[in-house]
Structure 1
Amino acid sequence: MANQPNPVTWGDFKSTLEQNADMHLQFEYEAGKFVDSSYHITEIKQAPIVSVDCGGQMNSWTEVIVQLWEPSVKEADRSMKVDKALKIFGIVEKSLPLDPNAIVKIEFGNSKFDMRQMYPGEFVTEGETFTVNLVPDFTQCKALSRNQSCGTSSADASCCAPAEKKEEPKLIVVAEEASCCAPGGGCC
């Protein structure tokens, strides 16, 4: 299983982009596959997440989700420059102040790649292009990552471990002559 990526905060993401403002901003969603250069940044969402994990512990964090969209007809030969993306972020932040400590996710999909939210991974500068390599998110068990089990009853009971094998109840056939409800039969 791949390692969980180290999330990038919104503040760090913006700061990295600001250092490369004059470059073309590209996103690689799979090895060798890039979001089409005519993409748009169509929406930026801020999502406060509150959850209770299987170990009974409450968790909370905030995500900033940048949505990318490829138009059906190619509109540009080069991807947008980083400074244009930063201007879009500025417009959004006039109405919705974004938490600088929020985890950044990039939301993207097209006809050949199901829409999903991915983390910015490696940042690559090559020539006039600044590429954000996107890495997938993985499900996880927070209780196990804390060396706990799920629930509070037993350290041996874990939703993430194989289920305990329970014995099937056995059917006992009682002969007709022996009545369990007779005196001394043991039913009462």
Structure 2
Amino acid sequence: MSAPVRACIGLGGNMGEVAATLRSALAAIDALPATRLLRTSRFYRTPAWGVQAQPDFINAVAVLETTLGARALLEALLAIERDHGRERAEDGSRWGPRTLDLDLLLHGDAVVDEPGLVVPHPLLHVRAFVLVPLAEVAPDAVVPGLGRADALLAGIDASGIAPSGPGEPARGVRS
């Protein structure tokens, strides 16, 4: 068995009961084998990115400890998306409305560039909707080749991103 690593997962959605879907996805992530959910950010309301003519998103970040490799973890995340009604466009189009989006942002200090798997997430450092919750729960997380999450956040515009409401505080799941 491999040594556990800290992984960071981006969560988001803008269709249906998004907050309930994100809570359900967090429970499913925590139930993955060889994986323990350590901390989750608050939920943030964020403007749509990419295709802007769609409802705002709710985004969060989860920090977990896992012995799953990056590919196995990604496959598990894609299965959780499907279980929550996510349908990926067959034409490869991106950034449209979705019930649930789970992105593998970081997997320890791994740098992976394979078909269907790029870690760290290639747009992590320019997406305020990811960096705001990431810096909340793991400000010291290092994006290989780019720096710490808190420093990356300080260098971009995060206006328009705000907590989605009370009752979604950052929390440690297990001690």
Query: TM-score, normalization: structure 1?
Result: 0.24
Tell which has more relative contact order, 1 or 2 (C-alpha 8 A, sep 6+): 2
Which structure dedicates a bigger proportion of its chain to helix?
2
